């Protein structure tokens, strides 16, 4: 089975690096982006299968980034992951096409299950 390519987008550098390492140890190919603009540029160069996207970021927030991803890269699955969840933002995220909306701190197994589920796959 092909390796799953994940783009992790978060403005918290410590979280980005730690979660990136944890996902890589589970066999995923992980790239890191510190913000929405960087994520869009990275997707332009090389598509990912799944984007794990923080909601609250400076410059370009998660919902704006999600909207751009859906418009420019419709095949890419997006999972919103945030420490600032509200019912309204979750509803907006799903309405804009997010596969799911998870709250930090998120259990790694839950996140992995959603990554595989978004692609219609099961963990190996």
- Structure confidence by residue, pLDDT tens digits, 1-54: 589 999 999 999 999 999 999 999 999 999 999 999 999 999 999 999 999 999
Return the closest-CA partner of residue 53 out of 3, 2, 28, 89: 89
What is the mean pLDDT of the segment spanning 65-80? 97
What pLDDT does residue 1 have?
57
- Domains of the chain are 35-53+62-83+94-124 (3.40.50.2300)
What does the DSSP 8-state code read for residue 60? S
The number of beta carbons lying within 10 Å of the beta carbon of residue 123 is 12
What pLDDT does residue 38 have?
98
What pLDDT does residue 85 have?
66
Residue with tokens 């996207």: 53
- Residues 36, 60 contacting (CB under 8 angstroms): yes
pTM, rounded to two decimals: 0.94
Q: Distance (Å, rounded) from C-alpha 87 to C-alpha 74?
A: 24
What pLDDT does residue 45 have?
98
What's the Cα-to-Cα distance from 8 to each of 28, 41, 88, rounded to whole Å?
Answer: 11, 13, 23
Q: Distance (Å, rounded) from C-alpha 86 to C-alpha 83?
A: 10
pLDDT-above-90 percentage for the chain:
80
């Amino acid at each position: 089975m092909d390796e799953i390519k994940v783009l992790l987008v978060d403005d918290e550098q410590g979280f980005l690096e730690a979660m990136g390492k944890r996902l890589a140890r589970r066999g995923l190919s992980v790239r890191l982006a510190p913000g929405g603009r960087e994520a869009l540029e990275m997707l332009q160069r090389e598509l990912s299968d799944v984007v794990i996207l923080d909601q609250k970021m400076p410059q370009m927030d998660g919902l704006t980034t999600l909207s751009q991803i859906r418009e420019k890269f419709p095949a890419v699955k997006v999972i919103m992951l945030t420490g600032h969840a509200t019912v309204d933002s979750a509803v907006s995220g799903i309405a804009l096409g997010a596969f799911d909306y998870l709250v930090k701190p998120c259990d790694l197994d839950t996140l992995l299950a959603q990554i595989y589920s978004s692609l219609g796959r099961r963990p190996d």
